Amino acid sequence: MEKYVINGGVPLHGEITVSGAKNAALAIIPAAILCQDVCTIENLPVSISDVRYMIATLRHIGATVRYVDKSTIEIDSRKVNSYVISHDMTKHLRASYYFIGALLGRFGRARVAMPGGCYLGPRPIDQHIKGFEALGARVSVEENAIVEADSESLFGNPIYLDIVSVGATVNIMLAAARAEGMTIIENAAKEPHIVDLANFLNSMGADVRGAGTDVIKIRGTENLHGCTYSIIPDQIEAGTYMVAAAATKGNVLIKNVIPKHLESISTKLIECGADVTEYDDAIRVSMEKRPGKCNIKTMPHPGFPTDMQPQMAVLLALAEGTSVISESIWSNRFRYTEQLARMGADITVDGQLAMIHGVEQLKGAPVKADDLRAGAAMIIAGLAAQGRTEIEDIMHIRRGYENVVEKISNIGGDIRMVYCIDPLDINNAG
Ligand code: UD1
DSSP three-state, residue 234? coil
Domains present along the chain, CATH in parentheses:
2-12+291-426 (3.65.10.10), 22-230 (3.65.10.10)
**d(CA 360, ligand 1 centre) in Å:** 35
Q: Does ligand 1 have an atom closer than 6 angstroms to the CB of 30?
A: no
Q: Which helix (H) or strand (E) holds 138?
A: strand 138-142
Q: Does ligand 1 have an atom closer than 6 angstroms to the CB of 163?
A: yes
**d(CA 50, ligand 1 centre) in Å:** 16
- Which residue's alpha carbon is at the smallest distance from atom 27 of ligand 1? 329
Atom of ligand 1 nearest to the CA of 372: 11
Nearest to 265 by CA among 211, 231, 302: 302
Q: Does ligand 1 have an atom closer than 6 angstroms to the CB of 374?
A: no
Q: List all residues 6 or more positions away from 260 whose beta carbon is below 8 Å from its beta carbon.
A: none
DSSP three-state, residue 227? coil
Mutate to test the pocket of ligand 1, among 90, 166, 197, 352 (most ligand atoms within 8 A of CB): 166
Atom of ligand 1 nearest to the CA of 130: 23
Rg (CA), the chain: 22
Active site residue 118: yes
**d(CA 104, ligand 1 centre) in Å:** 21
**d(CA 365, ligand 1 centre) in Å:** 32
**d(CA 379, ligand 1 centre) in Å:** 24
Give first-to-last CA distance, the chain, whole Å: 15
Atom of ligand 1 nearest to the CA of 120: 12
Q: Cα–Cα distance between 395 and 1 in angstroms, integer?
A: 10
Q: Cα–Cα distance between 158 and 215 in angstroms, integer?
A: 10
Nearest to 324 by CA among 315, 313, 335, 338: 313
What is the amino acid identity at position 10? V
Q: Does ligand 1 have an atom closer than 6 angstroms to the CB of 26?
A: yes
pLDDT, tens only, 138-165: 999 988 789 999 999 999 999 999 999 9
pLDDT, position 423: 66
pLDDT, position 89: 87
Q: Does ligand 1 have an atom closer than 6 angstroms to the CB of 329?
A: yes
Phi/psi at 147 (nearest 5 deg)?
Answer: -95, 125
Strands (E) across 282-428 are located at 282-286, 296-297, 322-326, 346-350, 353-357, 366-368, 387-392, 414-419
Residues lower than pLDDT 50 in the chain:
429-430
Phi/psi at 272 (nearest 5 deg)?
Answer: -85, -5
The count of residues in the chain is 430
Atom of ligand 1 nearest to the CA of 50: 8
pLDDT, position 430: 45
Residues 364, 344 contacting (CB under 8 angstroms): no
CA-CA distances (angstroms) from residue 192 to 68, 196, 242, 257, 422?
Answer: 26, 6, 18, 12, 40
Question: pTM for the whole thing?
Answer: 0.96
Q: Which helix (H) or strand (E) holds 205?
A: none
CA-CA distances (angstroms) from residue 368 to 23, 56, 394, 397, 420?
Answer: 23, 27, 8, 10, 15
DSSP three-state, residue 83? coil
pLDDT, position 114: 87
- Which residue's alpha carbon is at the smallest distance from atom 13 of ligand 1? 166
Q: Does ligand 1 have an atom closer than 6 angstroms to the CB of 45?
A: no
Mutate to test the pocket of ligand 1, among 22, 165, 193 (most ligand atoms within 8 A of CB): 165
Q: List all residues 6 or more positions away from 234 whose beta carbon is below 8 Å from its beta carbon.
A: 18, 19, 20, 21, 22, 23, 24, 45
pLDDT, tens only, 243-269: 999 999 999 999 999 999 999 999 999
Q: Does ligand 1 have an atom closer than 6 angstroms to the CB of 337?
A: no
**d(CA 94, ligand 1 centre) in Å:** 9
- Which residue's alpha carbon is at the smallest distance from atom 7 of ligand 1? 23
**d(CA 163, ligand 1 centre) in Å:** 9
- Which residue's alpha carbon is at the smallest distance from atom 21 of ligand 1? 165
Q: Does ligand 1 have an atom closer than 6 angstroms to the CB of 237?
A: no
Q: Does ligand 1 have an atom closer than 6 angstroms to the CB of 123?
A: yes
Mutate to test the pocket of ligand 1, among 130, 161, 163 (most ligand atoms within 8 A of CB): 163
pLDDT, position 63: 98
Q: Exactly one of 35, 39, 118, 272 is catalytic; name it.
A: 118
